[in-house]
Amino acid sequence: MSAPDTAHGITGTLPALVASHAGAAGSRIALTFLADPRDEEARADLTYAGLDRAARRIGARLSALGAAGRPVLVLHGPGLAFAQSLLGCLYAGAVAVPAPMPGRQRRDRQRLAGIVRDCGARLVVTDASGEAEVRQWLAEAELTIPCEVADAAPAGDPDWSPLRVGADDLALLQYTSGSTSDPKGVMVSHGNLIHNARDIAATLGSDAGTRFGGWLPHYHDLGLMGMLLQPLFHGGSSVFMAPVSFVKRPLSWLQMIDRHDIHLSGSPDFGYALCLNRLTDGQVAGLDLSRWRVAVNGAEPVRSRTIAEFTRRLAPAGLRPQVMLPCYGMAEATLIVTGDRPDRAPVTVPVLTDALQQGEFVPAPHSEFVPAPRDDRPDGARRGVRELVSSGPVAGRDVAVVDPADGTVLPEGRTGEIWVRARSVAGGYWERPEATARTFHATTADGRTGYLRTGDVGVVQDGELFVIGRLKDVLIVQGRNLSPQEIEDETGAVHPALTRGAAAAFCDEDERVVVVQEIRPHGLGPGELAGIRERATLCLAREFGIGGARVLLARPGTVLRTTSGKIRRSAMKELYASGELRTLEHALADGERP
């Protein structure tokens, strides 16, 4: 990672940078898409010159349609077309609205329609392969807006030049993983993109010589900012595959890192856990991961057990103990807030659960800050102890832990809401002035203004930020603040048939704790399933003092997730309350086999 990087110190914008890279090194491959990771012939390369030409053609067409300054919905399946259309929007001065394809699920289609109605998009950009699906969805949603097919767009004026945009101009709307009926678009400016890219480069140590690679969808903030726009910022290269390729065969991701000399890749925690569940020792023996320098772990809570098991399991493939780099970020901050250093193993601290529930960070007796890979306990935890993983130092960053009730800035060792000030923090939510004022312009009790309220609970200890969970997801049981993630982890560990990391815990309207837990039920009879539910209920009573919890078993795929893999607990609570949640008990009652 030592190649010259012309992007450091620049004051321009991302589209100007890409145009500059095209002029200086047009033949360099910017993006490589692996349509079938097992077939090297099924790959498509796009040079910087090719990317610039495509973006100019699309940009000229959008400009002719009057898209400058207006939201344009960008809908593409996996491939190179998304990057071309997104950059085309930026070249035209339009406000890109990246989103997933409509898909088959009713909730996903409704959410996409909600995004269109919220942002007021009057144009959709897709490609020939997605045109039929997009037009069908538009008709179903009764949306009468034009659908522009990017790869069928006319060549346009050869003398057309990209619109000059400034740092304060809007680049895109990044929609958060909110409810179906109330999506919120985060207004990300061109300046936000550049400041975020600089911060990522400084945190991860990336530059023009860094080879990026991954499987995350490019419409999601980590995939978009971290794995697509970051290499384009540097003038570097990125190799990627479709998310479904990874989910079907996690080995494909690791083989891509090996075969394409990837230096920097990343995933939410569940992606690393999925590799652990699927990999065989023989497959590990066939990998060489010695060139993988940074494995970003972010977009959802980072588990010490995942870090320890992943680095241990893949050590025979040359994976370095320091490769895993926990990060903390969110769409409202464009992406990154904090990140660990790439030159050290992740830091994990065992803390007393009882104290944490009372808002205090108290290390477990005889514990010290230790690198996570040295933790050889099978489940990465002890009874009454929760292991927290640092999301990196706060030195040099304006990060405060605040009492959400009165704005008091809390000292080290006290848990509260994480508040952030940075130049990469977005301007607010699209056309939502009240929500913007409440979330993006918070003031501390001592008068410090302009903070972003993240909605996340965390604590700073010895200069390190530890993220505990979402403020709105915290379960209040008998005056104690319980982490749903911890409840979910304990539930998933009571039987091998339960899928760890595939559960949602919440309180119902009677304040009873409910846990929806996915299970692989093959070969299990009704009696065995009842026994598993009982074991889980007893575990929650023993570990957390939760009496009368309701544990519901469900088939794989039942627990709703965001596009980055986060558990959608609020959506699961709504599904449960509406009576639409289909559990394994319902299936058995209808005569289905386990």
Write out the DSSP string of 96-122.
Answer: EEEE----S-HHHHHHHHHHHHHHT--
The residue assigned the tokens 């559990």 is 583
| pLDDT value of position 56 | 95
| pLDDT value of position 383 | 65
Q: How far is Cα of residue 162 from the mean position of the Cα atoms in its chain?
A: 31
Asked whether the beta carbons of 326 and 339 are under 8 A apart, the reply is yes
475-589 belongs to CATH 3.40.50.10420: no
Report the candidate in 32, 96, 87, 76 with the shortest Cα–Cα distance to residue 237.
32
Measured distance CA(356)–CA(348) in Å, rounded: 15
Question: What are the strands, taking DSSP E only, across 347-410?
Answer: 347-352, 370-371, 385-393, 398-402
Write phi, then psi, for 5 (nearest 5 degrees): -125, 105
Report the candidate in 377, 365, 564, 357 with the shortest Cα–Cα distance to residue 459.
357
Distances (CA, A) of 65 to 60, 94, 323, 569: 9, 11, 47, 41
pTM for this structure?
A: 0.84
Q: Which two tokens stand for residue 192?
A: 């936000």
| pLDDT value of position 482 | 83
Tell me which CATH homologous superfamily contains domain 14-243: ANL, N-terminal domain (3.40.50.12780)
3-state secondary structure of 406: coil
SS3 content of the chain, % helix, strand, coil (to 5): 35, 25, 40
Enumerate residues 6+ apart whose C-beta is below 8 A from 176: 183, 184, 185, 186, 331, 332
- What is the block-wise mean pLDDT of the chain (594 residues), using blocks of 10 residues? 38 90 97 94 96 95 95 98 98 97 88 94 96 97 95 77 95 78 88 97 96 95 95 98 94 98 95 92 97 93 91 97 95 95 92 89 73 40 79 96 96 97 97 96 97 96 93 78 86 90 88 92 85 92 86 92 77 88 79 65
Containing 201, the helix (H) or strand (E) segment is helix 190-204
| pLDDT value of position 586 | 78
Asked whether the beta carbons of 241 and 215 are under 8 A apart, the reply is yes
3-state secondary structure of 565: coil
Write phi, then psi, for 56 (nearest 5 degrees): -65, -40
Measured distance CA(528)–CA(269) in Å, rounded: 30
Asked whether the beta carbons of 527 and 540 are under 8 A apart, the reply is no
Write phi, then psi, for 200 (nearest 5 degrees): -60, -45
Query: Burial code of 3-36, b = ≥16 C-beta within 10 A, e = fewer?
Result: eebebeeeeebbbbbbbbbbeebeeebbbbbbee
Q: Which two tokens stand for residue 343?
A: 């030159």
| pLDDT value of position 591 | 66
Measured distance CA(275)–CA(269) in Å, rounded: 10
Measured distance CA(58)–CA(92) in Å, rounded: 8
CATH fold of 328-473 reads Luciferase; domain 3 (2.30.38)
Question: What are the strands, taking DSSP E only, across 56-152?
Answer: 71-75, 95-99, 124-126, 147-149
Q: Would you kindly state where each structural domain of the chain is located, as residue ranges?
A: 14-243, 328-473, 475-589
